[in-house]
Structure 1
Amino acid sequence: MTEQQIEEAAQRLGIALTGSELTHLAGYVNLLSHWNRAYNLTAAKTSTAIIERHVVDSLTVRAYLPAGQLLDVGSGAGLPGIPLAIVEPQRSVTLVDSNGKKARFLRQCKLSLGLVNVAVMQTRMEQLAPACCDIVTARAVAPLGQLLTLLVPLLRPGGSLLALKGARAVAEVAALPEEWRRAVAVHDLPSLEEEGCAKLVIYRRSAEE
């Protein structure tokens, strides 16, 4: 039933998934539902809510991913990193979270789902090495100005920061210094929630830095 729910929700957003992807995504949803009872990893308490609010929302980012190694900071319950790792098995994905119980959950997902392209790091984002990745993703981690301050140094020249935001994204962009405003683009993401509430803010670091 979970696979069918995922497939139907994804189709409503124009996302096609293979049988293997559906199996792995369903396994992830079941793991998250089970762990959530004890560890409160997400406010979504049912499989349907996890699928519609988190899993398929994470998959909408795939269309905007450039090539390269992906670092998912403040990964928490593994969003968007685990769904993206499932549908991009050839891409190296590192999930970063400083919280011990969340890092344990992420390691269990890697083991149970056989995600050989995934690594898990329990650390604070401030402690990551500069210029360590090509892409950074962040979902509901911090205000945009704070994210850019902390995460842009992690990007290699030409790298991209993809921040999943809600309706406040436009106001957060407007509050940025002009040099950052010129370097960001805001995209509407399809969502099963209220139309126009899901935004993707992309910052690209200059290749000449």
Structure 2
Amino acid sequence: MGVELTDAAQVKLVDYLSLFAKWNKAYNLSAIRDPEQMLTKHLLDSLSIVNILAKLPGNRYIDVGTGGGLPGIPLSIVFPDKHFTLLDSAGKKMRFLFQVKQALQLENVQVENRRVESFNPETGYDGVLSRAFASLSDMVEATHHLLNSEGRFMAMKGVFPTDELSVLAKHYIVETCHSLDVPGLEGERHMVLIRQEKIQ
């Protein structure tokens, strides 16, 4: 994948996966039960956007509908200098994320247990991340209030979302679409970057 990780980051990523597998039995964080599949479908999938994120300006991101912390937790481990807010309305999953934040000492993570429409941050984010959160139209309409003027929507998708892109409102501009390579994962993965057109 061409991703370079420090030894400390590798240890934390493995510790996170271990906690995920342990808590999943009681909290139903994911339908995937096999740790090896978790490694591929959760951890490596989340890390597949590291090199894209590294090239973008800004250091404040919000992971909307984060669930068990994907992709927010793995990204926060790889980028300790960037801040990640993890947003989800499911209380059980938030309790797990509080535990992860404490156990792994992730000072750059903020956990918010609320619905996206009721979260109004004082400062807009540089990026709104989503992984299987909703259709692109639903995502941008539900989260546009979270971005700053230069911010981007960053949607992780499976197959290239041709139909979803065709029905986006005209003031949303597709900046780029990256094909993602996830070792061991069958099927396509993409990251779509979208910006809001600036009103003159």
- Using the size of structure 2 for normalisation, the TM-score is 0.91
Q: Which moved more, 1:168-177 or 1:92-101?
A: 168-177
Q: Which has the larger share of helix?
A: 1
Q: Secondary structure at the match of 2:62?
A: strand
Cα distance, 1:43 vs structure 2: 1.7
- Pairing 1:96–2:118 present: no
What is the RMSD computed on CA atoms of the aligned residues? 1.7
- Cα distance in 2 for partners of 1:194, 1:185 equals 23
Aligned residues: 195
- Pairing 1:23–2:11 present: yes
Cα distance, 1:148 vs structure 2: 0.8
Cα distance, 1:118 vs structure 2: 0.7
Return the match for 1:183 from 169, 174, 180: 174
1:86 maps to what in 2? 77
Cα distance, 1:168 vs structure 2: 5.1
- What is the one-letter code of the residue matched to 1:31? L
Stretches of structure 1 that go unaligned for 5 or more consecutive residues are 1-12
Contact 1:25-1:86 within 8 A present in 2 as well? yes
Return the match for 1:163 from 151, 155, 162: 155
Question: 4+ residue runs of structure 1 moved beyond 4 angstroms?
Answer: 206-209
Cα distance, 1:40 vs structure 2: 1.1
Q: Secondary structure at the match of 2:120?
A: coil
Q: Which has the larger share of strand?
A: 2
1:149 maps to what in 2? 141
1:4 maps to what in 2? none
Return the match for 2:65 from 32, 51, 74: 74
1:62 maps to what in 2? 50
Q: Deviations over 1:54-98 (max 9, x none)?
A: 111111212222222111110101000000000000111111111
Q: Secondary structure at the match of 1:183?
A: strand
